[in-house]
């Protein structure tokens, strides 16, 4: 019987690449999305991957979505916490709402979804949780104290939850992408991208979503059963 995965933010960018790659290895994938219904439905039509809309920053919405997916698709074996947003500004210009929204979605979403899937994984003695961090959570980034703090928090969350799941057959790892050619990165001013970001990447280019997806799929597999609490940097 095919394993079942939830990929949050799974219909666009890195999430879409992860969803497709998991499907290619025989996993039944459910892709979450929060906003762009047209793109989500187009993705569903192209791939046959079911899409469900909910806000990962809303604890009750996560519980309700998880219950619906369990009933309609089956028990969830793999969770990829990929959903994330940016609300960039320097601290002097950042409002509390900008801080709170990024923390609520990017870090709170990891807690909310792990809280939903963890008990079932523990009961069945097998589970994979992969959290998507960021190079900016490791090194910091000007104008991103909210995003950097949330992504840095994901790394600590990963290590702590890994310790709780290890004896139950649940691995918890993080993948830390560098700058990847997604809509979010392409929205950066081209001059900034070409003069201040790409020159600092040793391989001299942006990464591709599929390059992150390959790491995630390995961590979600049986082959990665002896890896837990790790953060793998894929940043060029």
Identify the pLDDT of residue 5: 98
Q: Which of 33, 52, 142, 147 is catalytic?
A: 147
For 27-51, what is each residue's pLDDT tens digit?
A: 999 999 998 899 999 999 999 999 9
pTM of the model: 0.94
For 56-80, what is each residue's pLDDT tens digit?
A: 999 999 999 999 999 999 999 999 9
- Other Cβ atoms less than 10 A from the Cβ of 40: the count is 22
Query: To 10 degrees, what angle do helices 108-124 and 145-165 make?
Result: 10
- Closest Cα to residue 81, out of 152, 172, 169, 181? 172
For 87-117, what is each residue's pLDDT tens digit?
A: 999 999 999 999 999 999 999 999 999 999 9
Backbone phi, psi, residue 82, to 5°: -110, -25
CA atoms within a 13 Å half-sphere pointing along the CA-CB vector of 49: 34
DSSP letter (8 states) at residue 204: S
Region 147-175 average pLDDT: 97
Active site residue 147: yes
């Amino acid at each position: 019987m095919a394993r079942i995965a939830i990929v949050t933010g799974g219909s666009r960018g890195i999430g879409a690449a992860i969803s497709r790659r998991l499907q290619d290895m025989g996993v039944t994938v459910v892709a979450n999305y929060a906003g762009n219904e047209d793109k989500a439905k187009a993705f569903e039509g192209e791939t046959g991957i079911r899409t469900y809309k909910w806000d990962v920053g809303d604890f009750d919405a996560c519980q309700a979505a998880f219950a619906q997916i369990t009933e309609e698709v089956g028990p969830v074996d793999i969770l990829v916490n990929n959903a994330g947003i940016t609300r960039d500004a320097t601290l002097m210009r950042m409002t509390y709402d900008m801080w709170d929204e990024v923390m609520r979605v990017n870090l709170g979403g990891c807690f909310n979804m792990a809280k939903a899937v963890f008990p079932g994984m523990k009961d069945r003695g097998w589970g994979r949780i992969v959290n998507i961090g960021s190079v900016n959570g490791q090194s910091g980034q000007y104008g991103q104290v909210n995003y950097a703090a949330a992504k840095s928090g994901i790394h600590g969350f990963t290590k702590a939850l890994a310790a709780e799941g290890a004896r139950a057959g649940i691995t918890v790892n993080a993948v830390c992408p560098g700058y990847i050619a997604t809509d979010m990165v392409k929205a950066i001013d081209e001059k900034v991208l070409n003069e201040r970001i790409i020159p600092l990447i040793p391989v001299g280019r942006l990464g591709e979503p599929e390059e992150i997806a390959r790491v995630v799929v390995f961590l979600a597999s049986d082959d990665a059963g002896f890896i837990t609490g790790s953060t793998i940097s894929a940043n060029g």
